[in-house]
Amino acid sequence: MKKGFDNDKYVKIQSKKIKERFKLFDKLYLEVGGKLFDDSHAARILPGFKNDVKISMFKELKNDLEIIFCINAGDIEKNKTRGEYGITYDQETLSLINKSKKMGFSVNSVVITLYKNQVSVDKFINKLNRNGIKTYIHTATKGYPTDVNMIVSEEGYGANPYIETTKPLILVNAPGPGSGKLATCLSQIYHENKRGVNAGYAKFETFPVWNLPLKHPVNLAYEAATADLKDVNMIDPFHLEKYGEQAVNYNRDIETFPILKSILSRVSNKDIYYSPTDMGVNMIGFCITDNDVVEEACKKEIVRRYYNEMNNYKMGLCNEDTYKKIKLLMNELKIDEMYLDVIKPALDKKKEKGLPVIAIKVNRKIITGKQTELLTPAGTVVLNAIKYLSKIPDDIYLLSPSILEPILELKKHMRTGDRLNLNEVLIALSICSVTNPLAAKAISSLSKLKGCEAHATYIVTGADKRALKDLKINITCESEFVDEL
**Tens of pLDDT, residues 394-432:** 889 999 888 888 888 888 888 888 899 999 999 999 999
pLDDT score for 264: 87
Q: Residues 108, 112, 118, CA angle at the centre, nearest 5°?
A: 145
Same domain, 272 and 366: no
Q: Which pLDDT value is given to residue 85? A: 60
- Number of domains comprising the chain: 2
**Domain final residue, candidates 266, 287, 308:** 287
Alpha-carbon separation of residue 223 from 219, 302, 325 (angstroms): 7, 9, 9
Together in a domain, 67 and 216: yes
Q: Does some domain include residue 295?
A: no
Question: In terms of domains, do 151 and 244 share one?
Answer: yes
Task: Mark whether 150 and 274 lie in a shared domain.
Answer: yes
* 408 and 264 fall within a common domain: no
Whether 465 is in a domain gets the answer yes
| Residue 225 and residue 123 share a domain | yes
Q: Verify that 145 and 276 share a domain, yes or no.
A: yes
Q: Which residues pair with 300 in a beta bridge?
A: none
**Average pLDDT, 10 consecutive residues per value, the chain (485 residues):** 93 91 92 88 96 89 94 91 74 94 96 96 96 96 90 94 96 92 94 93 94 98 92 96 96 90 84 93 96 98 97 91 97 98 98 97 96 95 97 92 87 84 95 95 97 97 93 96 72
C-alpha closest to that of 309 among 297, 296, 298, 320: 320
Q: How far apart, in Å, are the Cα atoms of 466 and each of 378, 462, 475?
A: 11, 6, 11
The boundaries of the domain holding residue 92 are 7-287
Among 254, 287, 320, which residue terminates a domain?
287
Does the pTM surpass 0.95? The reply is no
Report the pLDDT value the prediction gives residue 263, as an integer from 0 to 100.
87
pLDDT of residue 86: 65
Where residue 226 sits, what CATH number does that domain have? 3.10.630.10
Is the domain of 108 the same as that of 214?
yes
- Are 278 and 387 in the same domain? no
CA distance 215 to 145: 30
d(CA 102, CA 272): 36
Say yes or no: 354 and 283 in one domain. Answer: no
| Interstrand relation of 233-235 and 248-250 (parallel, antiparallel or unpaired) | antiparallel
Look at residue 359 in the predicted model and tell me its pLDDT: 98
Does the residue 296 lie in any domain? no
Domain membership flag for residue 312? no
- Asked if residue 44 belongs to a domain, the reply is yes
